[in-house]
Amino acid sequence: MKTQLIFVLVLAAVLAMSASEASAQWYKIPDLQYTSIYCFLATGDSTVFVGGDNGVFLRTTDAGATWTNLITWQNGLEVDTILSLEKAGGYIFAGTNSPGSLYRSSDDGDSWSPIGQGFPANTAINGMTYSNNVIYVAANTGVYSSTDSGNSWNADTAGLNMAPWYEYTITPGGIVGIDAVDSTLFSVESWAWSSSGGVFKTRVDSISWAPIGLDSLPTNGLFAITNVDTNVFVATVRGIYLYSGPTATWLPRNSGLPLNDSTWLGSCIFAPKDTLLFAYISYTSTYVYGREIYVTSDLGQTWKRVTDSSFAGDSVTAMVATNKYLFAGTQSGAWRIPIADVITEVKPNPSQLPAKFTLSQNYPNPFNPTTVINYQLPSMGHVILRVYDVLGREVRTLVDERQDAGTHSVIFNAANLPSGVYFYELVAQGMNIIRKMVLEK
C-alpha cells in the first residue's frame, strides 16, 4: 500500500511539474477571430456557446473546432448583443439589452423566444443562476425571479440599495453578479457614481436581502461572484475574498496574486470547474499594469499564473472551463488551452488548516483513465479512501493510513476497469462522505 501511495504522490508531482509555465500553450480559435465576446456557456465537454457584440452568438459541438452562427432571420433572435448565458430547468437563457432583455431556447439554441418584455425599460441582464426550480437574473435594474421558466417575472429587490431609476440609463452596474449555494442567494451590487453597493445574501424561500460586508470598498470596486462547492468567492478592488467558515466571515485569498497595498484589481472574471477556480484579473498601481489568468485548486489559499495569457495586450472579457479546455474571449477573438496543461498541485499553507472534513468532486469527471480526488482534514487521524462499483463491490483502496491535517490529493487510475458509474467513499474522524464519478472509455 505504501509503495502504491508513494507512486501516486510521485505521479502527482510529475503532473504538477507538467503544468509549469513552459508547457501551457494557447490556441487561437479561427472561427472566432475579430469577434467581440461578452460571455460563454458550456453545456458539456464538447458543446459551448459564445455570445458578444455585433451579432456574435455561436455554438460549437466539437469542443471549439468548428462553430455555428445562432443568429438567423428565422430563429426568433432580434438582437445584436448577448450579455450573459445560463442553462436552467432544461432551457438555455440568453441575456441581452432591452427591449427584449431575455430570450429562451428549448432546443439547444436552434430557436429562441423572447421572455423578458416585463422588465423595466433599459434593463440589461448581467448574470443568472438557478436554485430550487427557480431562475434568478441579475440586472442593472435589480434582481428578478421566475418560477415558470421565464414566462413571468417577479422583482426581488427588497433590501438592496438600488440606485434611482434615472441612473439606469447613465450608470453602468447595478446587480453585477448573482449566485446560489444550496438555499441561499448571493448578489453583488456595484455602481460607478453612487454610495450604494456591497455583497448581499438572502434565503430563497423568503427574499429579503441583507448586506454581509465588503461595503466599505469603493462601490465601483466589486466585480464578480462565483462559488466552488459551498464556498463563495467575490472579486473586489482590494483583491479576492472567500466567504466561508463557521462564523461566515470574509477571508482574503490573494496569495500568489500580484497584489499588495499599492496594487489593486481593475477587473476580474471567474471560471469555476469542480475543485478548480480560474480568475482573469487586471491589476494596476502607479508603476505597474498587468492582465493575467490564475488558477487555484485549494480554495484560493495559493494561486498559480497560467502562462502567456495576455493575448497580445487584449483584455479578457469572458471565460469558461470544461473538463477538456479553458476558453478565454476578448474584444478581438477567443483562445482555448487544454485543462491538462494548467492543472497544478497547490500545496496548502500549514498555517491555514481546513475548517471542516470535506471530500471534493473528482477532477476531471467524467474521466479516462485517471482522475484526481482531493479531500481536507481539519485534524490528524486515520483515513480510508475506497472506490466501489454500482453493486457496492470494493474495486480499489486508495488510502488506508494515518494522515496529517490539511489538503490531500490522490490520483485514481482506472485503466483496468470497465466504463461506468463508480462511487468513492472517504472515512475519517468518525464520519464518511460518498461521491459519484463516471469512467468513460
Q: Where are the domains of the chain?
A: 2-10+348-439, 18-341
CA distance 206 to 412: 43
Q: Which of 6-15, 44-53, 328-337 is predicted with the least confidence, judged by mean pLDDT?
A: 6-15
Residue 360's CB is within 10 A of a number of other CB atoms, namely 21
3-state secondary structure the chain: CHHHHHHHHHHHHHHHHHCCCCCCCCEECHHHCCCCEEEEEECCCCCEEEEECCCCEEEECCCCCCCEECCCCCCCCCCCCCCEEEEECCEEEEECCCCCCEEEECCCCCCCEECCCCCCCCCCEEEEEEECCEEEEEECCEEEEECCCCCCCEECCCCCCCCCHHHHHCCCEEEEEEEEECCEEEEEEEECCCCCCEEEEEECCEEEEEECCCCCCCCCCEEEEEEECCEEEEEECCEEEEEECCCCEEEECCCCCCCECCEEEEEEEEEEECCEEEEEEEEECCCCEEEEEEEECCCCCCCEEECCCCHHHCCEEEEEECCCEEEEEECCEEEEEEHHHCCCCCCCCCCCCCCCCEECCCECCCECCEEEEEEEECCCEEEEEEEEECCCCEEEEEEEEEECCEEEEEEEECCCCCCEEEEEEEEECCEEEEEEEEECC
Question: Domain 18-341 is in which class?
Answer: mainly beta
pLDDT tens-place string over residues 201-249: 999 988 999 988 776 666 567 889 999 888 899 999 889 999 875 557 7
Distance between CA 187 and CA 140 in Å, rounded?
Answer: 12
Q: Which residues on adjacent β-strands are paired with residue 278?
A: 271, 295
Q: Which CATH class is domain 2-10+348-439?
A: mainly beta
Residue 129 or residue 345, greater confidence: 129
Mean pLDDT, the chain, whole residue set: 82
Amino acid at 39: C
pLDDT digits (tens, 9 = 90+) for 393-407: 999 999 888 887 777
Q: What is the mean pLDDT of residues 414-432?
A: 90
Quote the CA–CA distance of 282 and 265 in Å, as a whole number.
6
Most confidently modeled of 110-114, 194-198, 352-356?
110-114
Tens digit of pLDDT for each residue in 149-206?
888 889 998 888 776 554 544 445 688 899 998 889 999 988 655 556 789 999 998 8
The percent of residues above 70 in pLDDT, for the chain, comes to 83
- pLDDT value of residue 10: 36
Contacts of 47 (CB under 8 A, 6+ apart): 59, 60, 61, 108
Buried b (16+ CB within 10 A) or exposed e, 12-47: eeebbeebeeeebebeebebbeebbbbbbbbbeebb
pLDDT at 238: 87
User: Residue 240: what pLDDT?
Assistant: 94
pLDDT digits (tens, 9 = 90+) for 43-74: 988 999 999 988 899 999 998 889 999 987 67
Q: What is the pTM of this model?
A: 0.72
